[in-house]
């Protein structure tokens, strides 16, 4: 049996969805008596396709609206907390409803039965492990021993909430302790065939924020572009966006937008840096401030500096340590070194006083030497570079580097392209 606490968009849809798919009895509670009355009458206080029909179908049998929190919790094995987490004046998330709901659950939760507490509300990264787990401990409910505890963020979209809950892309289970995560995965397996991804609670919370941050960035990007276009004049804005969408990077097969949504040590290449600089300049000439693009450039510089700092931190104060650079071209599969971030990173390292730098790239060593003439040496093979270096920085994600990763074992490796966990090669690209 399952309890759902908080019956807004997320709680109602989750509750009805679980009842529908798993066939369990759902005990639902909201602290707002008006909402409880409405639901009992089979009515929904907001518009959301398909929910009305499913509420009518399950109300009073699989979906029981409870008058008290205690009644909802008593026989539940899983408790989904779906209360609101609105913004405070300083931008932080207001966790009062959630923490208050957990505190109010204490008495029932102390009856000696093991229940899994599932945090479905959107909360800042770290909340479940660093705020909720200690709170439960204080209440005498040790996670993993007296209760299970998992973060399970929701990715539904209002307007298609039912469909999104019925057919999730993946179910993200963030484990504050392993037992709760395992049991929650077992529950979902009873009725959902979406992939279940078990990660740390903080990872799960972070993914939810990251997902919304990406959406917000893309929307602001489109709006900034439209404002520049408007101010430029003579630009057919809808057509311009339709043409942008037709690009196979974003649409169709093979659409590889995900290649661009992966961390690295910054973008480079011939076109992206210069074209974005030119767009920022153009915007300023016509009286528009391209704040988002400027922020993209600032973050890019910061990413390159951060990579140089990570290498320096690994090398330590001894400036004569041998640093090996894997990858010079701006992206794998190319010998183009124009605007390559490898140049900027090596330049920064030389500036910090590290003078014992060697590099290896399958295609672009000559081009790099000709273009930049930096005081570094070049290895003829990856083996040679690996054996001659103490600290190795992976700058371009060539397939060779991933295939021959074993050569790097026992070395201090700074993987600037996060290739460790990659199954396929991410071509982190300039364009």
Residue 262 annotated in ligand binding: yes
User: Which of 99, 109, 119, 322 has the alpha carbon at shortest distance from 204?
Assistant: 119
d(CA 419, CA 266) in angstroms, rounded, equals 14
d(CA 289, CA 15) in angstroms, rounded, equals 46
Lay out the site mask for ligand NAD across 7-26 (x = CB under 6 A, - = otherwise): xxxxx---------------
**Structure tokens belonging to residue 311:** 């290498």
Whether the bond into 248 is cis, omega within 30 of 0: no
**Residue range at the interface with ligand NAD (CB under 6 A); choices 130-138, 151-159, 296-304, 406-414:** 151-159
d(CA 405, CA 326) in angstroms, rounded, equals 11
Q: Closer CB to ligand NAD, residue 156 or residue 337?
A: 156
Determine which residue in the list 16, 22, 66, 82 makes contact with ligand NAD, applying CB under 6 A.
82
User: Which of 29, 143, 43, 124 has the alpha carbon at shortest distance from 80?
Assistant: 29
d(CA 73, CA 141) in angstroms, rounded, equals 15
**Residue range at the interface with ligand NAD (CB under 6 A); choices 77-85, 165-173, 327-335, 404-412:** 77-85
**Structure tokens belonging to residue 308:** 């140089």
Q: Closer CB to ligand NAD, residue 15 or residue 264?
A: 15
Contact 149, 177 (CB under 8 A): yes
> Which H helix or E strand runs over 392?
strand 391-394
Grouping H, G, I as helix, E, B as strand and the rest as coil, residue 46 is coil
271 is catalytic: yes
Determine which residue in the list 79, 83, 133, 204 makes contact with ligand NAD, applying CB under 6 A.
83
Residue 179 annotated in ligand binding: no
In the sheet with 147-151, reading across from the earlier edge strand, the strands are 63-65, 26-29, 2-5, 78-81, 115-119, 147-151, 171-175, 196-200
* Residues in binding contact with ligand NAD, number by CB under 6 A: 24
97 binds ligand NAD, rule: CB under 6 A: yes
Tell me the helices (H) and strands (E) count for the chain, helix number first: 18, 13
Determine which residue in the list 23, 100, 316, 353 makes contact with ligand NAD, applying CB under 6 A.
100
Q: Closer CB to ligand NAD, residue 160 or residue 200?
A: 160
Residue 258 annotated in ligand binding: no
Q: Closer CB to ligand NAD, residue 8 or residue 333?
A: 8
32 binds ligand NAD, rule: CB under 6 A: yes
Residue 25 annotated in ligand binding: no
CA–CA distances in Å: residue 245 to residues 187, 251, 252, 255, 258: 39, 6, 9, 11, 15
Q: Active-site residue among 24, 82, 265, 271?
A: 271
Q: Closer CB to ligand NAD, residue 5 or residue 315?
A: 5
- What contacts 334, CB < 8 A, 6 or more positions away? 363, 364
Residue 338 annotated in ligand binding: yes
Residue 58 annotated in ligand binding: no
Contact 149, 203 (CB under 8 A): no
Residue 15 annotated in ligand binding: no
Site for ligand NAD, residues 218 to 247, rule: CB under 6 A: none
Residue 378 annotated in ligand binding: no
Of all residues in this chain, which one has the CB nearest to ligand NAD in the complex?
8
Q: Closer CB to ligand NAD, residue 121 or residue 389?
A: 121
Determine which residue in the list 2, 3, 4, 5 makes contact with ligand NAD, applying CB under 6 A.
5
Q: Closer CB to ligand NAD, residue 122 or residue 389?
A: 122
84 binds ligand NAD, rule: CB under 6 A: yes
User: Which of 2, 18, 57 has the alpha carbon at shortest distance from 191?
Assistant: 18
DSSP 8-state symbol, 130: I
205 binds ligand NAD, rule: CB under 6 A: no
354 binds ligand NAD, rule: CB under 6 A: no
User: Which of 403, 406, 402, 395 has the alpha carbon at shortest distance from 419?
Assistant: 402
Q: Write out the binding residues for substrate.
A: 155-158, 208, 260-264, 268, 331
Q: Which residues bind ligand NAD (CB under 6 A)?
A: 5-11, 29-32, 35, 82-85, 97, 100-101, 121-122, 154, 156, 158
Catalytic residues: 271
Q: Write out the binding residues for NAD(+).
A: 30, 35, 85, 122, 158, 274, 338
């Amino acid at each position: 049996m399952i309890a759902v606490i908080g019956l807004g968009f997320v709680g109602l849809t989750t509750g009805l969805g679980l009842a529908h798919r798993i066939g369990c009895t759902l005990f639902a509670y909201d602290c707002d008596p008006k909402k409880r009355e409405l639901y009992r009458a089979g009515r929904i206080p907001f518009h959301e396709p398909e929910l009305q029909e499913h509420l009518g179908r399950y109300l009073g049998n699989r979906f029981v609206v409870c008058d008290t929190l205690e009644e909802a919790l008593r026989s539940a094995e899983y408790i989904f907390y779906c209360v609101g987490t609105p913004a405070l004046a300083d931008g932080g998330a207001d966790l009062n409803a959630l923490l208050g709901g957990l505190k109010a659950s204490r008495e029932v939760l102390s009856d000696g039965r093991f229940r899994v507490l599932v945090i479905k509300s959107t909360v800042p990264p770290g909340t479940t492990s660093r705020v909720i787990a200690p709170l439960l401990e204080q209440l005498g409910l040790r996670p993993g021993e007296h209760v299970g505890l998992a973060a399970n963020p929701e990715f539904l979209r209002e307007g298609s909430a039912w469909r999104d809950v019925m057919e999730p892309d993946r179910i993200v289970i963030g484990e504050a302790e392993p037992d709760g995560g395992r049991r929650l995965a077992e529950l979902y397996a009873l009725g959902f065939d979406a992939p279940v991804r078990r990660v740390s609670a903080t990872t799960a919370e972070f993914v939810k924020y990251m997902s919304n941050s990406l959406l917000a960035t893309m929307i602001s990007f489109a709006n900034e572009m439209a404002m520049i276009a408007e101010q430029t004049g003579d630009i057919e804005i809808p057509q311009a966006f339709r043409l942008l969408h037709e690009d196979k990077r974003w649409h169709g097969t093979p659409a590889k937008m995900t290649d661009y949504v992966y961390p690295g040590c910054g973008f480079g290449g011939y076109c992206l840096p210069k074209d974005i600089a030119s767009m920022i300049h153009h915007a300023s000439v016509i009286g528009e401030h391209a704040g988002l693009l400027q922020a993209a450039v600032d973050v890019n510089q910061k990413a390159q500096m951060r990579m140089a700092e990570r290498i320096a931190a690994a090398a330590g104060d001894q400036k004569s340590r041998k640093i090996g650079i894997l990858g010079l071209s701006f992206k794998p599969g190319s010998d183009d070194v124009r605007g390559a971030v490898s140049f900027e990173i090596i330049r920064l390292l030389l500036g910090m006083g590290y003078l014992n730098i060697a590099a290896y790239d399958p295609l672009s060593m000559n081009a790099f030497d000709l273009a930049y003439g930096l005081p570094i040496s070049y290895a003829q093979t990856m083996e040679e570079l690996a054996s001659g270096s103490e600290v190795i920085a992976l700058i371009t994600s060539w397939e060779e580097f991933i295939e021959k990763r074993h050569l790097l074992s026992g070395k201090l490796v700074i993987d600037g392209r996060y290739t460790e966990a990659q199954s396929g090669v991410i071509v982190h690209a300039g364009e």
